[in-house]
Structure 1
């Protein structure tokens, strides 16, 4: 792979090549990507989607929106630092093509901003709830009428693939989706493969999948334009865009440190016990006098969090540059922080978060409620979508269909497309809207 192709400014529908040196410096194409994402309705809905604690009304606990903004900030720093080093290594990128260090930051920031845009309500339990409906619930009847890959898309419903669908899917009035640059879409695609084969190797890019069958053609076209290395022609398995490693690192840094911070602020993790783990991570950079002067838990945690994020940013940049050749060759097969010298400290922090936060009674109870809500919504809307396809629409189905927005198009042409359309609709709902819709459909007063 080469950086000239990987930094493509092309957008879906372009007929002419976009050159970096011809860009308006006051409104660069990569910065336009960020703007389009942040003004999208799908991004705004993240303000009421679960990060750690579902439906939490506590001011200092993160939602998907605040998490995404923070990941984007960390991603920008990672991209800019790497960009500066890459331009020193490959001066022709700047001298001939006009790329700047901030371009790398803008690409990673935009991709990081969108990294959770496809997540359904109720966090990762929402993905599992959708998958369970098709694997073990009413939706398992579809196994005999869909292709193997189409059915697997549903059984392992994946927020990353759903995000790619949201960013690229055409509909009337929004051709080409958000029409982001191919460089940003490439950086967004952490798992450049279909739902099958499932985990064919231990390569980090094979851990999950990144596109549904409905977007395979779009994905392949973008991958080919970017020059992503083809690892398996039969199954369209590609190597990651190098900047996807930075997007992943930004996410890893934020959920490791900030979910831990939420646990402390919620009282789920004891302050004295927790701060010891953060101090182990940043012991070489603490200003003892400044730290001792801090009076509140929130201030102490905030100070250590800032140091920890800075430490891990520098670590990720160093690992990326040390392995840049292998990354360009598609041979680097692990996450950046998976080989960090701070791996043990990161593991300790994550283990505590899992035990005290992710498996807390409040989180578990709300996730159970989320399963019930999503199962109910899927039963209603998937049932209607199947009946539209078969031409056997009941009076109830007609009423249900009227609750769908006009952007949801169902027909008797393709069953898979109908089912994916209602899954997309449900996935875009915020936690509160999903709960409210479930109550309305079940005649429950709210």
Structure 2
């Protein structure tokens, strides 16, 4: 892979090549990507989607929106730092083609901003709830009518693939979705493969998948434009865009440190215990005099959090540059932070977060409710759509369908397209919208 191709400014529908030297410096194409994402309705709905504690009304906890904004900020810093070093190492990118260090930051900021845009309501349990419906619920009845890959898309419903669908899906008046630059779409795609074969190798790019069967044409077009290395002769599987490693690192840094901070502020993790873990990570850079002047938990944690994020940003940049050649050849097979000298401290923090936050009673109770809500919505909507297609819709089905937006096509001949469209529609609901829809179906809102 080469940086010349990887930094492509091309967008869906372009007939002429976009050159970096011809860009308007007041509003670069990569910066337009950020604007289009942040003004999209799909991004705005993240303000009411779970990050750590489902349905929490506590001021301290992060939603998917605040988390995404923070990941974007970290991503921009990572991109600018790496961009500066890349241009020093490959000066022709700047002298001949016009790329600047801030271009890398803009790509990373946009890709990181959208990294969770495809997540369903109720966090990762929402993904699992959709999958469970097709594995063991009424959805399993459709297995015989689907290809193996189509069925796997539904059984392993993946927020990353759903995000690519949101960013690229054409509909009337919005051809090409948000029409982002292919460089940003490449950086967004952490798992550049289809759902099967499942985890064919231990390579980080094979951990999950990043494209539904419904978007394979768009995905291949992006991969070929960027010059991503094809990793399979029989299936859709490519090497990662190098900047996807930095998007992943930005996310890893934020959820490791900031979810931990949420747990402290919620009282799920004792302050003394938490300070010990964070101090292990940043002990070499603490200003003791300044630290001991801080008189409350919030200020002490904020200070340590800022140091920890800064430390991990520098570490990720160093690891990326040390392994740039292997990353460009597709031979680098782990996340950047897996190679960090602070790996033990990071894993200690993640372990206590799992034990005290992710598996807390409040989280588990709300996830149980989320499963029932999503199962009910899928069952009701899929039955209504299929009955409508088969001209057997009841009056109840017709009432249900009246609440659907016009963007949901109910007359698709392909069963897979109907099932993935309904699953996609449910995934776009915020936590509150999903609960309200559930109550309507159950007759609780009368």
TM-score range relative to shorter protein: over 0.9
Indicate if the aligned counterparts of 1:391 and 1:412 stay in contact, CA closer than 8 A.
no
Gaps of 5+ in 2: none
Corresponding position of 1:332: 332
Gaps of 5+ in 1: none
Corresponding position of 2:358: 358
Query: What is the rounded CA distance, in whole Å, between the counterparts of 2:445 and 2:396 in structure 1?
Result: 19
Specify the SS of the correspondent of 2:8: coil
Indicate if the aligned counterparts of 1:389 and 1:418 stay in contact, CA closer than 8 A.
no
Specify the SS of the correspondent of 2:434: helix
| Distance apart, 1:396 and its partner CA | 1.6
Indicate if the aligned counterparts of 1:388 and 1:412 stay in contact, CA closer than 8 A.
no
Query: What is the rounded CA distance, in whole Å, between the counterparts of 2:319 and 2:282 in structure 1?
Result: 18
Corresponding position of 1:7: 7
Query: What is the rounded CA distance, in whole Å, between the counterparts of 1:289 and 1:37 in structure 2?
Result: 42
Query: What is the rounded CA distance, in whole Å, between the counterparts of 2:116 and 2:299 in structure 1?
Result: 28
Indicate if the aligned counterparts of 1:389 and 1:415 stay in contact, CA closer than 8 A.
no
Corresponding position of 1:73: 73
| Distance apart, 1:412 and its partner CA | 4.7
Corresponding position of 1:88: 88
- Give per-residue Cα distances to partners, 1:141-174, cap 9 Å, x unaligned: 0101111110100000000000000000000111
Query: What is the rounded CA distance, in whole Å, between the counterparts of 2:352 and 2:376 in structure 1?
Result: 33
Indicate if the aligned counterparts of 1:390 and 1:412 stay in contact, CA closer than 8 A.
no
Corresponding position of 1:251: 251
Corresponding position of 1:283: 283
Specify the SS of the correspondent of 2:285: coil
| Distance apart, 1:389 and its partner CA | 3.3
Would the alpha carbon gap of residues 412 and 313 (structure 1) be closer, same or farther in structure 2, given more than 3 Å must change? closer
Corresponding position of 2:132: 132
TM-score normalized with structure 1 length: 0.99
| Distance apart, 1:239 and its partner CA | 0.1
| Distance apart, 1:236 and its partner CA | 1.6
Q: Does 1:388 align with 2:388?
A: yes
Query: What is the rounded CA distance, in whole Å, between the counterparts of 1:233 and 1:42 in structure 2?
Result: 35
Corresponding position of 1:439: 439
| Distance apart, 1:414 and its partner CA | 1.3
Query: What is the rounded CA distance, in whole Å, between the counterparts of 2:92 and 2:404 in structure 1?
Result: 51
Query: What is the rounded CA distance, in whole Å, between the counterparts of 2:435 and 2:295 in structure 1?
Result: 40
Specify the SS of the correspondent of 1:232: coil
| Distance apart, 1:390 and its partner CA | 2.9
Q: Does 1:98 align with 2:98?
A: yes
Corresponding position of 1:194: 194
Query: What is the rounded CA distance, in whole Å, between the counterparts of 2:420 and 2:195 in structure 1?
Result: 14
- Give per-residue Cα distances to partners, 1:344-394, cap 9 Å, x unaligned: 000000000000000000000001011111011001011122223333222
| Distance apart, 1:420 and its partner CA | 1.3
Query: What is the rounded CA distance, in whole Å, between the counterparts of 1:412 and 1:294 in structure 2?
Result: 61
Indicate if the aligned counterparts of 1:87 and 1:100 stay in contact, CA closer than 8 A.
yes
- Give per-residue Cα distances to partners, 1:96-118, cap 9 Å, x unaligned: 00000000000011000000000
Q: Does 1:375 align with 2:368?
A: no
Corresponding position of 2:417: 417
Corresponding position of 1:401: 401
TM-score normalized with structure 2 length: 0.99
Query: What is the rounded CA distance, in whole Å, between the counterparts of 2:391 and 2:203 in structure 1?
Result: 44
Specify the SS of the correspondent of 1:445: coil
Specify the SS of the correspondent of 2:231: strand
What CA RMSD, in Å, does the superposition of the two structures yield over aligned residues? 0.7
